[in-house]
Amino acid sequence: MAPTLSLEEYEAGVLAGDRVVVSRAVTLVESTKPAHQELAQALLVRLLPHAGDAHRVGVTGVPGVGKSTFIERFGTQLTAQGHRVAVLAVDPTSSRTGGSILGDKTRMPNLSVDPAAFVRPSPSRGTLGGVTRTTRETMVVVEAAGFDVVLVETVGVGQSETIVADMVDFFLVLMLPGAGDELQGIKKGILELADLLAVNKADGDNIGRATASASDYATALHLITPAGARWQPPVVTCSGQSGRGLDTIWAHIERHRQVLEAAGEWTDRRRAQQLRWMWAMVEERLLQRLHQRTAGLAQQLERAVLAGTMTAAQAADDLLGAFGDG
C-alpha cells in the first residue's frame, strides 16, 4: 500500500472526485490495520454530510442470468445520460474465488474504463460481515465523490441477497426466460425482497419465452405480500446484451424513489438501515473480541464438546464467562 495520505488530503481528493484518491480511500476503508481503521473512520465522519443522496440499487440473479453483462450495459447507458455510476460487488465467497480488480475489469471492460464510472470488487475478506462493512463504507466514499448511482452486485448466494437488500434503496432481481421448472426453485425470500423482477436475455428467439416467463413471475409475486404497502413490484423483460428494456427499469427505479419520498418512507428506511448496520457491527466486533480473548480456552472446550464430556451449552457459558471476566 502506498504511503498514507493525511486526513485533509483524503477528504479534499474524494470531494474533488479524484479517482486515484477515491481508490486509495476505499483501500483505506478496506484495511484491517488499526491505524488505517482509525483514519478511515475519521474520514468517513467528514464525508457523511456529502453522501446519502445517490440511488442505491442492489442487483442479484440466478447463476448464468447475465448480471455482469446487464450491469455493464445498464451502467454505460446511465453514464451516457449524465449519471456517475459506481459498481460495488458483495462476494462472501471471494476468499475461494479470488475476487480481484482484474476480474471485474474483464467482466465489465467498457464500464471499468468509463471516466464517469467506478468499478470495485469486494475484498477477499472471507466473511460476509467484513465484506458488508467495507461495502457500506465504500458507498459513503463514492457518494461523497459525486457518484449518484451505486449498483451493488451480489456475487455470492444465500445470505448475501438479504444483506445487500438491507443496504440499498431498490432491489432488482434478474431472472432467466422459461419460468416453468425454474419457478419452482425460486426462493420465496428472494421474491419478498424484490422491488422489481426483470427477465433478462429477452432478445432474438427468447422474446416470446421471456414474455411468458414474466407473466408467470407476476402471478407468483401476487401470491406474496409486498415488502411495502405503497409499492407492488413490477415484472418486466429486458436484454443486457442489446439494452432493450433498460430505460424502463431505470424509470421504475426513479418512480419507486418518488413514491417513497412522497410518503416520507425514504428517509425512514435509510435511518432504519443505519441502526441495523450499527448493531450488526456491534455483533461482529463482539464476536471478534470473544475469539481473540478466549482462543486457548475455546480449543479446550471444543475438544470437550467433541469428546462428549461437555454439552455445547456448558461450553458456551464457560466461554462467555471467561470473556466477561476479561
Q: Does residue 17 belong to any structural domain of this protein?
A: no
The arithmetic mean of pLDDT across residues 306-310, rounded, is: 94
- pLDDT(120) > 60: yes
CB distance 31 to 40 below 8 Å? yes
Please indicate, yes or no, whether residues 90 and 63 belong to a single structural domain of this protein.
yes
The pTM of this model reads: 0.86
Q: What pLDDT score was predicted for residue 289?
A: 87
Backbone dihedral region for residue 85 (phi beyond 0: left; psi -120 to 50: alpha; all else: beta): beta
- Parallel, antiparallel, or unpaired: how do β-strands 85-90 and 55-61 relate? unpaired
Q: Does residue 126 belong to any structural domain of this protein?
A: yes
Of residues 189 and 140, more confidently modeled: 140
Residue 285 domain boundaries? 275-325
The Cα–Cα gap between 193 and 188 comes to: 9
Question: Rounded to a whole number, what is the distance in angstroms from the first to the last CA of the chain?
Answer: 34
Please indicate, yes or no, whether residues 246 and 285 belong to a single structural domain of this protein.
no
Q: Does residue 124 belong to any structural domain of this protein?
A: yes
93: Cβ–Cβ under 8 A, 6 or more apart, which residues? 155, 156
Closest CA to 58 of 140, 135, 125: 135
- Parallel, antiparallel, or unpaired: how do β-strands 170-175 and 196-199 relate? parallel
Please indicate, yes or no, whether residues 221 and 289 belong to a single structural domain of this protein.
no
The arithmetic mean of pLDDT across residues 221-245, rounded, is: 84
Q: Does residue 270 belong to any structural domain of this protein?
A: no
Nine-digit cell at 258? 418518488
| Cβ atoms within 10 Å of 73's Cβ, excluding its own | 22
Q: Note the Cα 76 to chain centre separation in Å.
A: 19
Please indicate, yes or no, whether residues 180 and 301 belong to a single structural domain of this protein.
no
- pLDDT(277) > 50: yes
Beta bridge partners of 118: 86
The Cα–Cα gap between 181 and 8 comes to: 56
Please indicate, yes or no, whether residues 304 and 245 belong to a single structural domain of this protein.
no
Mean pLDDT score of the chain:
85
CB distance 157 to 186 below 8 Å? no
- Tell which of 218, 237, 261 closes a domain: 261
Q: Does residue 59 belong to any structural domain of this protein?
A: yes
CB distance 124 to 95 below 8 Å? yes
Q: What pLDDT score was predicted for residue 18?
A: 95
Please indicate, yes or no, whether residues 251 and 285 belong to a single structural domain of this protein.
no
Max mean pLDDT range (33-37, 100-104, 140-144): 140-144
CB distance 202 to 210 below 8 Å? yes
Closest CA to 195 of 52, 58, 63: 58
Confidence of residue 165 (pLDDT cuts 50, 70, 90): confident
| Cβ atoms within 10 Å of 222's Cβ, excluding its own | 12
Q: What pLDDT score was predicted for residue 250?
A: 98
Task: Give tens-digit pLDDT for 234-259.
Answer: 999 999 999 999 999 999 999 999 99
CATH of the domain at 220: 3.40.50.300
Please indicate, yes or no, whether residues 149 and 184 belong to a single structural domain of this protein.
yes
CB distance 177 to 201 below 8 Å? yes
CB distance 233 to 198 below 8 Å? no
Domain count, the chain: 2
- Tell which of 227, 261, 295 closes a domain: 261
The Cα–Cα gap between 34 and 64 comes to: 39
Residues in the chain: 326
Q: What pLDDT score was predicted for residue 95?
A: 46
**Angle between helical axes of 128-144 and 19-30 (0-180°, round to 10):** 150
Q: Does residue 266 belong to any structural domain of this protein?
A: no
Q: Does residue 23 belong to any structural domain of this protein?
A: no
Please indicate, yes or no, whether residues 213 and 307 belong to a single structural domain of this protein.
no
Helices (H), the chain: 7-15, 19-30, 34-47, 67-80, 94-97, 101-107, 128-144, 159-165, 179-185, 188-193, 206-222, 246-262, 265-293, 295-307, 312-325
CB distance 135 to 168 below 8 Å? no
